[in-house]
Amino acid sequence: MNLIEKIRKEAQDYFIGANGCHAWDHTERVISNCLHIGKKENADLEILEIATILHDIKKPEEMQLKGAICHAVEAAKESRKILEKFSFPEEKIDKICHCIESHRNKNEIVPNSLEAKILFDADKLDSLGAIGVGRLFMFASVIGARLHNKDVDLENTTEYSSEDTAYREFLAANIKLKDKMLTNEGKRMAQERHDFMISFFDRINKEVDGEL
């Protein structure tokens, strides 16, 4: 078993019992996005793949605590311990941990390396397109939100409430993601996936009104 396989096996243990929105299959999809973009952008694929494997290991804990911790910062700390245990070079550990701590859209740590920018984009891409729609509805189900409210009021609704529907989350966060992409390939992919989500929610709103 090579080093990446050992790190992957250790990372998977953090996702035991995780809900579907951020279960291990999310990490697998982000790895695919990262490697696709990384090859286009001539990135260091070793740094990128290891960072992606570890980037969400604290996300299940953040979900359990309803956002009381920043999973990106905590995952970077935990990843450093894991990589040091495998005697990984310190310089590479620093690069990997920067990718992890800066991948989150909601914290103030800015991705300043190519690999960090790619992980940031790849992670956001999994919140867009058909997969993004599926994840939004799955998240709404996990927290007990209603199916849909086309007239949702963003200013008077909160996260993790019954009104935190897939559509509310889309309007509050996902709709803005395409403009936050940092790589050329990420921007291209995000625009296409964004357009799909706009079309999807336009249709569901029309169906609710009995227009289709």
This prediction has a pTM of 0.90
Q: Which domains can be identified in the chain, with CATH numbers?
A: 1-111 (1.10.3210.10), 127-212 (1.20.58.1910)
Helix (H, G, I), strand (E, B) or coil at 158: coil
Contact at 8 Å (CB) between 148 and 204? yes
Tens-digit pLDDT profile for residues 9-22: 999 999 988 777 77
The DSSP H or E segment spanning 126 is: none
Confidence of residue 111 (pLDDT cuts 50, 70, 90): very high
Alpha-carbon gap, residue 15 to 20, rounded angstroms: 10
